């Protein structure tokens, strides 16, 4: 994908997409704000520029910001935000929930909308589905620190948005379909686990480039620093976990890096600025105690928390397809391959799907048409 062409295309698309969707009456406690409308021509243009092949968007798309109630870890009701997109001229028969990947900015989220929000809207609402995409707790309009890879928090963000949208007149009642990229795949499986535990039927889940077992697979790979983003991911997780679990950050990171990370993530910084502020060798950030516990199989609260937030040790009732790029360094292919094997060993319908010799970001572009095709297959069963 040509990044410069993509940016140019998105700017042109943003200028062209000046129509406003119709107002929608919001349920009590929910706010719905019209954002932008995208014509079929604009949708085609975005898909073309982004390099998504084999996908059309037969419907114009109306997008909305939704602010809705959900619950924090302590049970308190909090405000969260997300995106809703509707196809124009057709009554959707299903809701698709797409969960975005890692963002370190409160404003780079689907409800603004960012690139992910626009692309997911066109991909799914443009094909006749109601699309929802939560911003997650600690991002968008939600207050507090984002608990990066805290499974239960973001599962509630998904289920809260789903519940809010289902209150709309004529909202689809069919089982939800879940998909997501990178961190969003982890969130998708956490939401699927919660929904099925509560007795709700899910049609299927299609995570892309997803770390299911961070403790035993991705953590070790990330500590080796194979990707320039690994230090960013690890510091983000340490910062979010320290705040979420009420632990001192310098019990995981060295004092110098704990102070630096608090500034890098607690105040606005671009991903590039964060990467430049962190060491090329991620291990250099961590305390000797943490590294010794990791290297020698010892105990550490952070390691225990990472393990507790895994999403690979349960039995999905609905089918799962784990899409991955064979050359992905950010999330190693072993995550999808081993994850599918563990799910199958528990009796689940699960497969790992290799989308080709591509790295992290391009894996989503190649997976997109495959996900739409599989969704259609599931609906035809």
CA-CA-CA-CA dihedral for 276, 281, 287, 288, to nearest 10:
-160
Q: Domain check: are 219 and 164 in the same one?
A: no
End residue of a domain, out of 292, 308, 324: 308
Cβ atoms of 66 and 158 closer than 8 Å = no
Where is pLDDT greater, at 195 or 9?
Answer: 195
Structural domain total, the chain: 2
Residues 106 and 248 placed together within one structural domain of the fold: no
- What Cα–Cα distance (Å) separates residue 232 from each residue in 84, 156, 223? 29, 25, 11
- Which of 9-18, 46-55, 56-65, 171-180 has the weakest average pLDDT? 9-18
pLDDT at 3: 42
Asked whether residue 255 falls in the same domain as residue 343, the answer is no
Q: For residues 208 and 53, what is the distance between their CA atoms, to the nearest angstrom?
A: 17
Q: What's the predicted TM-score (pTM) here? A: 0.94
Q: Is the CB of residue 318 less than 8 Å from the CB of residue 204?
A: yes
Q: What range does the domain containing 231 cover?
A: 215-308
Is residue 194 domain-shared with residue 239, that is, in the same domain?
Answer: no
51 and 117 in a single domain? The answer is yes
Asked whether the beta carbons of 184 and 100 are under 8 A apart, the reply is yes
240 and 195 share a domain? no
Q: Are residues 175 and 52 in the same domain?
A: yes
**Residue 4 pLDDT:** 42
**Average confidence (pLDDT) over 164-182:** 97
- Give the mean pLDDT of 325-341: 98
Tell me: do 144 and 281 sit in the same domain: no
pLDDT in tens, 138-163: 999 999 999 999 999 999 999 999 99
Of 308, 341, 357, the domain-final residue: 308
Q: Do 125 and 197 fall within a single domain? A: yes
User: What's the average model confidence in pLDDT over 302-328?
Assistant: 98
- pLDDT for 1: 39
pLDDT of 352 higher than 90: yes
3 state DSSP class of 267: coil
pLDDT at 10 over 80: no
Q: What is the CATH number of the domain that holds 343?
A: 3.40.50.1820
What is the rounded average pLDDT of the residues 365-377? 97
pLDDT, averaged across the chain: 94
Which among 250, 283, 308 is the end of a domain? 308
For residues 178 and 69, state if they share a domain.
yes
Percent of the chain with pLDDT over 90: 91
178: phi then psi, degrees, rounded to nearest 5: -115, 135
CATH number at residue 247: 1.10.260.160
Residue 234 has pLDDT above 50, yes or no: yes
* Whether the predicted pLDDT of 5 surpasses 80: no
* Kind plus residue range of the DSSP H or E element containing 49: helix 40-50
Q: In this structure, are 55 and 167 located in the same domain?
A: yes
Over range 285-296, report the average pLDDT: 98
Same domain, 177 and 86: yes
């Amino acid at each position: 994908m040509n990044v410069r062409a993509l940016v140019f295309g998105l700017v042109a698309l943003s200028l062209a997409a000046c129509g406003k969707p119709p107002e929608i009456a919001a349920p009590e406690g929910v706010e719905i704000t019209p954002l932008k409308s995208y014509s079929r021509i604009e949708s085609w243009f975005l898909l073309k520029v982004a390099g998504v092949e084999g996908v059309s968007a037969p419907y114009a798309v109306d997008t909305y910001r939704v602010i809705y109630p959900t619950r924090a870890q302590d049970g308190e009701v909090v405000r969260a935000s997300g995106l809703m997109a509707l196809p124009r001229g057709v009554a959707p028969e299903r809701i698709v929930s797409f969960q975005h990947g890692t963002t370190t900015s409160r404003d780079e989220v689907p409800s603004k909308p960012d690139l992910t929000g626009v692309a997911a809207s066109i991909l799914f609402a443009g094909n006749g589905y109601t699309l929802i995409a939560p911003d997650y707790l600690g991002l968008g309009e939600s207050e507090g620190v984002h608990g990066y890879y805290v499974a239960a928090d973001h599962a509630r963000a998904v289920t809260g948005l789903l519940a809010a949208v289902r209150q709309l007149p004529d909202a689809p009642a069919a089982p939800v379909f879940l998909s997501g990229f990178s961190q969003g795949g982890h969130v998708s499986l956490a939401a699927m686990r919660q929904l099925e535990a509560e007795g709700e039927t899910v049609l299927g889940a299609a995570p892309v480039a997803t770390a299911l077992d961070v403790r035993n697979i991705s953590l070790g790979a990330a500590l080796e620093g194979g990707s320039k983003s690994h230090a960013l991911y690890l510091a983000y997780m340490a910062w979010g976990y320290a705040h979420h679990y009420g632990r001192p950050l310098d019990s995981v990171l060295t004092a110098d890096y704990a102070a630096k990370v608090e500034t890098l993530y607690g105040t606005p910084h671009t991903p590039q600025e964060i990467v430049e502020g962190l060491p090329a060798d991620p291990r250099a950030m961590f305390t000797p105690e943490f590294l010794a516990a990791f290297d020698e199989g010892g105990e550490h609260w952070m390691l225990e928390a990472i393990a507790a937030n895994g999403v690979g040790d349960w039995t999905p009732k609905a089918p799962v397809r784990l899409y991955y790029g064979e050359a992905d360094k950010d999330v190693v292919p072993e995550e999808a391959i081993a994850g599918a094997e563990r799910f199958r060993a528990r009796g689940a319908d699960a497969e790992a799907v290799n989308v080709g010799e591509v790295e992290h970001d391009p894996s989503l572009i190649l997976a997109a048409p495959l996900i739409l095709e599989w969704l259609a297959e599931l609906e035809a069963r």
